[in-house]
Structure 1
């Protein structure tokens, strides 16, 4: 990895983001991020995406594991994950800088046609890889494009496709092809995740989900946990609780309204499970987030 090129990318992002902020570039969902504050924890449902870190480090807790998004690395999230993240050792003079891209299944499907090996095993739904010089160069040109609005309509797609090509030519290519190849073990788990995500408010039974994706219950449970790092019902529970937190924060829902909206029938159960996950009651947790104490 060319450190000089990485420093150029850092400088370009700082010029575009002189203060702590995020910018939606307007092309293909690409966003530029700058964070100066290392204190607050951020929770959300992380959609499938590619995050390239140009400077700083982000510590992310997914399921029961911790991941470090490091400078010069790109991280791919293959499925929707409830995540909590925070930053360390960053400041105004040494900010966290990153480029976010939502996973575009159409572009991936187009490129992976030339990948012939399809592993019939499952893999974690998140990976971290070091960016090589060719990928760094593509990211650098992507940043340049932000200041060239006349070129965006033609060049954006080409550069985005090149970034995908560079990534898929690396170690994750075969895994991504498996994920999007109907009938593979990974694709079955992907389908199951999509089903739970779309029906998380409902009562779900593992045997029914396993049947929908043509897997024996024991095999389904084992493979689901290998990908998501938690069980199907734990995954559903986290989707519910993270969405409830979002509703209370951004939509000003009451505790009871949030609980019922995400599928709970008992406020007592909701409060108990919320406190277990976020380490404080719903009301206290929301106040702490608003006051910047979490």
Structure 2
């Protein structure tokens, strides 16, 4: 992409995003992001997305691992993961600008039918990676952002361009990773199922035996493969999901610490407070 093309994309996004924040676009499943300042690390449960940076820089963290994405690089996330992230390069004169494109397992499977070779022998571990945009993805991105400036084009053309972006992502170096998490019969698909199960049942009593049964795997196999995808054990993942959800609850106006603890599955308020402080560095009372 030429500097002139990227400048035009930046200008279009600045028009679509006159203020800071995260905003829905004119097309379902696509959100636009603007920040005029660097931000502190925030905990969030990322859903499956292609996250493309147009200007500025961001870093995300999965446990001890750090993922940085700069202009015309994208973060591909194929399973829900509790991560932390913050903008590390932004200013009012040159704001951080990005686009978040959500996708589903069904969309990946549909595109895989059209991909001639899916790099079956490439090992896919983590459910997250950062890659540069290919030339064809850059071209599709230009057309996508242009479509988002008009209501009719956004509803008719944007979904087709999103499919095109996913198609080219599957053809790239991260393609095997994206495909692995939706391919029936591979352990990646089973781990993705367990992750989605935890997302829906985190407030319930959960143990490793129950999760192993959901995955049709042995306890030791589940533990090994789950950690290869998420960088944490299943029980650590459950704890992170619960604490991330609790952080949102206690941050709400009139949020009750005890209600938040019980709603996410904690039976002991003291244990909740202790683990909350260990994860976020402050007690829940300072997040309220």
Short-chain TM bin: over 0.9
Residue in 2 aligned with 1:232? 234
Residue in 2 aligned with 1:212? 214
Please identify runs of 4+ aligned residues in structure 1 that moved more than 6 A.
none
Quick check: 2:10–2:97 contact (8 Å CA) kept in 1? yes
SS in structure 2 at match of 1:100: strand
SS in structure 1 at match of 2:287: helix
Residue in 1 aligned with 2:258? 256
Residue in 2 aligned with 1:165? 167
Deviations 1:119-155 (A, max 9, x none): 5854101011101222112111111112222333321
Quick check: 1:5–1:136 contact (8 Å CA) kept in 2? no
Structure 2 residue 57 is matched with structure 1 residue 83: no
Q: Number of matched residues?
A: 286
Point out where structure 1 has 5 or more consecutive residues left out of the alignment: 287-294
TM-score by length of structure 1 reads 0.91
Residue in 1 aligned with 2:18? 18
Offset of 1:4 from its aligned partner?
Answer: 3.8
CA RMSD of aligned residues (A): 1.9
Distance 1:222 1:236 in 2: 16
Offset of 1:74 from its aligned partner?
Answer: 1.0
Residue in 1 aligned with 2:43? 43
Residue in 2 aligned with 1:110? 110
Counterparts in 2 of 1:196 and 1:122: CA distance versus 1, 3 Å:
farther
Distance 2:49 2:16 in 1: 22
Counterparts in 2 of 1:251 and 1:227: CA distance versus 1, 3 Å:
farther
Deviations 1:43-92 (A, max 9, x none): 22111111000011112122332211221101111111222221223110
Distance 1:171 1:42 in 2: 29
Task: Please give the residue correspondences for 1:133-152 in structure 2 after superposition, counting only pairs within 5 Å.
Answer: 133-152=135-154
SS in structure 2 at match of 1:114: coil
Distance 2:71 2:196 in 1: 31
Distance 1:121 1:222 in 2: 15
TM-score by length of structure 2 reads 0.92
Quick check: 1:38–1:90 contact (8 Å CA) kept in 2? yes
Distance 1:62 1:22 in 2: 22
Offset of 1:198 from its aligned partner?
Answer: 1.6
Tell me whether 109-118 or 187-196 shows the greater mean CA deviation. 109-118
Tell me whether 59-68 or 186-195 shows the greater mean CA deviation. 59-68
Residue in 2 aligned with 1:28? 28
Offset of 1:106 from its aligned partner?
Answer: 2.4
Point out where structure 2 has 5 or more consecutive residues left out of the alignment: none
Deviations 1:171-211 (A, max 9, x none): 22222222112210111111111122222122222133123
Residue in 1 aligned with 2:274? 272
